[in-house]
């Protein structure tokens, strides 16, 4: 029925809510617009979605649309603009996806580092528990900021004895934590 109508006549009927006129425009231009969109997007699904979006928007704004050039020119410029917007969205999505995977990778590295640090802390406390009681007490005080003289006064022993306990504790701790020291060096110096 509407096949004999010109594009301008169809547009006038679409503006007056004539669905059959809209269907005729759709039938007349869908394949041409699809091919044009596909040339820009190189993706069949996106090309089809873009053409569908154009016609949906065309129908929704049918009362406002003013076409100063030919209908085909209007439609092809519109589809080109929609394709460009689609490409921009795709690039933005890829950019955000890449950022996310980098952040996820950083997060994975941070998680692995945190696990290694927790493991090191646990091993440190286990090694500390292996020290003789007096040696452990002196060593713990020294690591909490007390000087050798302060520790000596607090525990009623000579500063030389404090030094001996600290030296002994360090030797034992070094042996017990040897495997973890390599990990610690990696975390501290290899980044």
Distance CA 49, CA 85 (A): 13
- Give pLDDT tens digits for 78-109: 999 999 988 888 887 787 777 666 665 555 55
Q: Is 110 domain-assigned?
A: no
Q: Which residue from 115, 119, 110 is spatially nearest to 191, judged by alpha carbons? A: 110
Query: Does residue 114 carry a pLDDT above 60?
Result: yes
Q: Which residue from 28, 23, 13, 4 is spatially nearest to 65, judged by alpha carbons? A: 13
Question: Residues 78, 30: one domain?
Answer: yes
Looking at 5-9, 134-138, 175-179, which range is the least confident one?
175-179
Question: Residues 142, 69: one domain?
Answer: no
CATH number where 148 lies: 1.10.10
Question: Residues 20, 89: one domain?
Answer: yes
Residue 120: how many CB atoms within 10 A of its CB? 17
Question: Residues 14, 58: one domain?
Answer: yes
Distance CA 8, CA 72 (A): 10
- Give pLDDT tens digits for 3-50: 999 999 999 999 999 999 999 999 999 999 999 999 999 989 899 999
Do the beta carbons of residue 24 and residue 3 sit within 8 Å?
yes
Rounded to the nearest 10°, the torsion over CA 89, 95, 96, 102 is 170
Q: Is 35 domain-assigned?
A: yes
3-state class of 70 per DSSP? coil
Structural domain including 164 reads: 131-189
Question: Residues 65, 140: one domain?
Answer: no
What is the total count of domains within the chain?
2
Q: Is 112 domain-assigned?
A: no
Distance of CA 31 to the CA centre of its chain: 38
Confidence (pLDDT) at 184: 53
Question: Residues 23, 90: one domain?
Answer: yes
Distance of CA 130 to the CA centre of its chain: 44
Q: Which residue from 104, 126, 138, 133 is spatially nearest to 118, judged by alpha carbons? A: 126
Question: Residues 11, 89: one domain?
Answer: yes
Percent of the chain with pLDDT over 70: 83
Question: Residues 70, 142: one domain?
Answer: no
Q: Which residues does 24 contact at the CB level (< 8 Å), separation at least 6?
A: 2, 3, 5, 10
Residues in the chain, how many?
Answer: 191
């Amino acid at each position: 029925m509407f096949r004999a109508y010109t594009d301008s006549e169809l547009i006038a009927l679409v503006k007056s809510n004539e669905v059959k006129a809209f269907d005729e425009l759709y039938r007349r231009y869908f394949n041409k617009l699809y091919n044009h969109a596909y040339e820009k997007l190189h993706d069949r699904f996106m090309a089809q979605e873009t053409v569908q979006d154009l016609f949906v928007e065309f129908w929704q704004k049918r009362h406002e649309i003013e076409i100063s050039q030919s209908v085909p020119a209007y439609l092809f410029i519109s589809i080109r603009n929609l394709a460009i917007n689609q490409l921009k969205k795709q690039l933005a999505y890829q950019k955000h996806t890449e950022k996310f995977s980098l952040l996820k990778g950083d997060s994975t590295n941070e998680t692995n580092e945190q696990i290694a640090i927790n493991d090191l802390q646990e091993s440190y406390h286990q090694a500390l528990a292996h020290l003789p009681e007096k040696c452990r007490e002196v060593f713990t005080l020294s690591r909490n900021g007390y000087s050798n003289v302060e520790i000596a006064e607090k525990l009623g022993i000579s500063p030389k004895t404090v030094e001996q306990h600290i030296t002994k504790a360090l030797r034992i701790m070094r042996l017990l934590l040897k495997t973890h020291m390599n990990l610690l060096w990696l975390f501290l110096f290899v980044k």
